Amino acid sequence: MSQPAVLAQPGPTAELCRWISTVQLGDIPPELLTRAKYLILDGIACALVGAHLPWSEKAAAALLDLEYSGPGAAATLFGWDRKVTPLTAALLNGTFIQGFELDDWHRDAPLHSNSILLPALLAAAEHMGTPPPPDHYKGDGRAAPRHFSGADLLLAYVVGCEVGPRVGLGLRGADVLSHGWHSGAVFGPSAAAAAVSKLLGLSAEAVEDALGIACTQAGGLMSAQFESEVKRMQHGFAARNGLLGATLARGGYVGIKKVYERKYGGFLTMFSSGNGKEPQYKPEEVCKDLGKKWQIEGVLVKPYAAMAGTHCTVDCLAALRAAHPERTRQFDNIKSIRIEMSEAAFHHGGWKPERPLTATGAQMCNAYVGATYLVDEQVTPAQFRTDKLDRDQVWQLVDATTCEENKSYASTGLGKTSQRVTISFKDGSPSISHEELAPKGVLPPLTNQEILYKWRLVTQSVIEDKKRDSIEHAILKLQECTDISVLGTLMAGMTKNPIA
């Protein structure tokens, strides 16, 4: 049965699919390929740190209880001595990378690219590179193993980094966060489907099917941020669903056509429904300056182990601590801490926490992260150990903190990252205040060398130096790699729990 030739019709979906199917490594500026390798390294660091956190082990135990582990289970579970099936690997490895709020985020259309792209791409590559068992169904085309090079991985990764944010910009970027959607879980299936489609060399028509199948699986409730552990898993859902979309499309399964511009039941139409904006959504953003303006430049790396919207709070408090070291340490004299932020940041992290708080909620809450910084002068995984979450000194400061939306901070550009923190005192002495346009990691972004420093710092407690050096060399020399299945081997093996 022949498929309808919808791709011949003009529109953002068709244009995007043609670009995905035709873009080559030589079309991408060399400095962005270099940046991509450092971003990948940061994603691997987050995976190894996250692999044996308590909530990661809980998720793994539940899914491995269902998991097929016989012949053909070829995908590596990062940081474990276990091979699993590709869809389970994509889900759990994405969960590990998102496991501790250390991972990347996009400046203009919030999503965490590494937790979506690396699990899907490496699972697909390992699966395709493994010989099928003798009695294996031949329908998936694995009559012979197919190996992918580091250059193949790099190209597919950059494609994913472009598609996810573009789809998000069509939904007005961070606006969906204000309405309670987990933005990365909404934008992410498109990114994973596009990346895997590129890795597998799908035609433009098949890419359209993959995106259509991925988009109908998109979703994620931001209420997951308060007490649940499933917030850690929602980007893993996106990785798995994008991989599933590309796999079905590779097999000829027909997906939704014109998925981004459909008026009835289309992706942009439905996820922008009720936002009260004019226009409601922006389909032109999906392909605007495609191949000219690179969205990977907006992928930022976190210096702190907390939700990105809390970072400006930390930097404001760090500046106040440096300027007023004695006054900001006299906690009993602090009357109030006022944090002003943009609309999206306020809805995401400006809520009032209740004691006790889980690690997930603590990392998502500006009041808690700010109080933790004042007490410990750092925001690392150690601050969110179970025994650290109920400290009286921290909660004294949390209770003194209020967050509010400052409407002068715009919803676009640097305005959405700007914050002001004001501390007032019980003894009547003058209040102190500091404003930042954007946190460290945004203005300026972390350099490649700073990312390398972070990689070495956060992995030193979870893997041996020899393995760390081997992974580092493999990623930074990725274009010299002829078979990326070596990455699976390097990522295998039990890591340590960094907050044990």
Nearest to 191 by CA among 106, 269, 288: 106
246 HSE (CA, 13 A, CB side): 34
CATH class of the structural domain 6-301+460-491:
mainly alpha
What's the length of the chain?
A: 500
- What the block records as the tokens of 468 is 């760390």
Query: Residue 449: is it exposed, middle or buried by C-beta count within 10 angstroms (0-12/13-18/19+)?
Result: exposed
Q: Give the residue extent of every domain in the chain.
A: 6-301+460-491, 308-436
Q: 417 and 438 in contact (C-beta within 8 Å)?
A: yes
The amino acid occupying position 260 is: Y
pLDDT tens sequence for the chain (500 residues)? 445 555 767 899 999 999 999 999 999 999 999 999 999 999 999 999 999 999 999 999 999 999 866 666 789 999 999 999 999 999 999 999 999 999 999 999 999 999 999 999 999 999 999 887 766 666 655 667 899 999 999 999 999 999 999 999 999 999 999 999 999 999 999 999 999 999 999 999 999 999 999 999 999 999 999 999 999 999 999 999 999 999 999 999 999 999 999 999 999 999 999 999 999 999 999 999 999 999 999 999 999 999 999 999 999 999 999 999 999 999 999 999 999 999 989 999 999 999 989 999 999 999 999 999 999 999 988 899 889 999 999 999 999 999 999 999 976 666 788 999 999 999 999 999 999 999 999 999 999 999 999 999 999 989 999 999 999 999 999 999 999 999 999 999 999 998 87
Is this structure's pTM higher than 0.85? yes
Q: 175 and 277 in contact (C-beta within 8 Å)?
A: yes
| pLDDT value for 1 | 40
| pLDDT value for 72 | 64
| pLDDT value for 344 | 87
| pLDDT value for 358 | 92
Q: Domain 308-436 in CATH: superfamily?
A: 2-methylcitrate dehydratase PrpD (3.30.1330.120)
| pLDDT value for 141 | 58
Nearest to 191 by CA among 273, 285, 255, 115: 115
CA distance 453 to 178: 34
3-class SS of residue 421: strand
Which residues, at least 6 apart from 327, have a Cβ–Cβ distance to it below 8 Å? 333, 423, 425, 429, 432
160 HSE (CA, 13 A, CB side): 36
